[in-house]
């Protein structure tokens, strides 16, 4: 190394503290003048804070580079619930159209049972409950369970037997009174386009006993979002909806929500199907960057899992978080 190069490197090394000090001084001066400006004109600072807050509240922003979603279904809705209380509709399709809701009904059945029953009280499953239409029948007539246990087959496997047993077999309750409580709860929640004819969501011709007026359970995507919001203070519902397998009594229960294992951030969901309603689904997920929750609803689809996966994935890319 030549002498000149050595002197050059030594000079650079010795000058580093000076430049570091100069940069620090510059930053301190900038901060000093900025705070002096704020002290003289505090409205400038307040306006900036307000703008920053408005920008945070406005998120997520629509990414117009992503094409609109074409959802296969009769109705759909995705609502963002932010951590600071803001709400924003991110997708909607016929959100106020009245449609059959099949086993999405059972979310209201669970709510009414939790709000009105002693869940530690024993319930004897009746023969009438076992006569309900379904293809797995893990409950047996004459078996005695705590009311709390019936929530598991009701929500995990969408048991029509459990729904009927809640409405018919709980001591002091009757089918008619339970359905009245369901409609009363819907009215109190402001679900003006929702009606319940039975506690399971079965089409009228499949429900036992047959209703003489042939009425069907119906709601809208918008009303179902409000119903789902009302369940956030019922932790047992979300505990069950997020449970994959349960061995509390007898045969193992397996959650029929296939998206629990194939989508990240799933909090819980409920599926439904009848011939008239087709396939339906409600799914609650964590929003990107843990910024809040998403309530997603699809009604009248031929592929509720596939379309729900498509909706959730689209929300993540179609908006800037």
Catalytic site includes residue 242: no
Catalytic site includes residue 200: no
pLDDT tens per residue across all 321 residues of the chain: 565 655 555 545 555 444 444 454 445 555 555 556 656 766 655 555 555 555 566 789 999 999 999 999 999 999 999 998 899 999 999 999 999 999 999 999 999 999 999 999 999 999 999 999 987 778 999 999 999 999 999 999 999 999 999 999 999 999 999 999 999 999 999 999 999 999 999 999 999 998 778 999 999 999 999 999 999 999 999 999 999 999 988 789 999 999 999 999 999 999 999 999 999 999 999 999 999 999 999 999 999 999 999 999 999 999 999
Q: Cβ(109)–Cβ(163) under 8 Å?
A: yes
Domain count, the chain: 1
Choosing from 158, 159, 200, 219, the catalytic residue is 158
Choosing from 74, 106, 148, 270, the catalytic residue is 106
Give the global pTM.
Answer: 0.83
Is 6 among the domain residues? no
Structure tokens at 306: 């596939």
Q: What is the CATH number of the domain that holds 102?
A: 3.40.710.10
Could you give phi then psi for residue 292, rounded to 5 degrees? 155, -160
Choosing from 78, 103, 200, 291, the catalytic residue is 103
Catalytic site includes residue 103: yes
146 bridge partner residues:
122
Is 27 among the domain residues? no
* Structural domain harbouring 146: 61-320
Q: How far is residue 158's CA from residue 168's CA, in Å, rounded to a whole number?
A: 17
Is 53 among the domain residues? no
Structure tokens at 189: 């929640």
Is 304 among the domain residues? yes
Other CB atoms closer than 10 Å to residue 173's CB: what's the count? 18
């Amino acid at each position: 190394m030549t002498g000149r190069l050595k002197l050059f490197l030594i000079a650079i090394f010795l000058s580093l503290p000076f430049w570091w000090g100069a940069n620090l001084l510059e930053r301190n001066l900038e901060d000093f003048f900025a705070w002096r400006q704020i002290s003289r004109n505090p409205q400038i600072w307040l306006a900036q804070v307000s703008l920053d807050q408005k920008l945070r509240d406005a998120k997520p922003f629509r990414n117009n580079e992503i094409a609109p979603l074409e959802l296969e279904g009769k109705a759909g809705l995705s609502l963002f619930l932010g951590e600071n209380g803001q709400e924003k509709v991110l997708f909607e399709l016929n959100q106020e159209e009245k449609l059959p809701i099949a086993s999405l009904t059972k979310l209201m059945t669970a709510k009414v049972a939790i709000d009105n029953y002693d869940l530690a009280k024993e319930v004897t499953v009746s023969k009438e409950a076992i006569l309900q239409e379904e293809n797995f029948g893990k409950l047996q007539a004459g078996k005695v369970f705590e009311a709390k246990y019936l929530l598991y087959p009701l929500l995990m496997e969408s048991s029509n037997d459990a729904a009927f047993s809640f409405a018919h077999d709980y001591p002091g309750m009757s089918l008619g009174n339970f359905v009245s409580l369901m409609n009363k709860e819907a009215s109190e929640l402001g679900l003006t386009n929702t009606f319940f004819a039975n506690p399971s969501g079965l089409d009228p011709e499949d429900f036992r006993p047959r209703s003489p007026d042939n009425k069907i359970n119906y709601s809208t995507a918008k009303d179902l979002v409000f119903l789902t919001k009302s369940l956030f203070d019922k932790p047992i519902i979300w505990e069950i909806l997020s449970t994959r397998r349960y061995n509390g009594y007898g045969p193992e229960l397996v959650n029929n929500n296939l998206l629990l294992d194939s989508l990240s951030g799933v909090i819980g969901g409920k599926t439904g199907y009848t011939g008239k309603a087709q396939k339906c689904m409600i799914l609650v997920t964590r929003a990107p960057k843990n910024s809040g929750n998403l309530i997603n609803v699809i009604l009248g689809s031929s592929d509720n899992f596939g379309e729900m996966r498509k909706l959730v994935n689209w929300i993540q890319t179609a908006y800037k978080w």
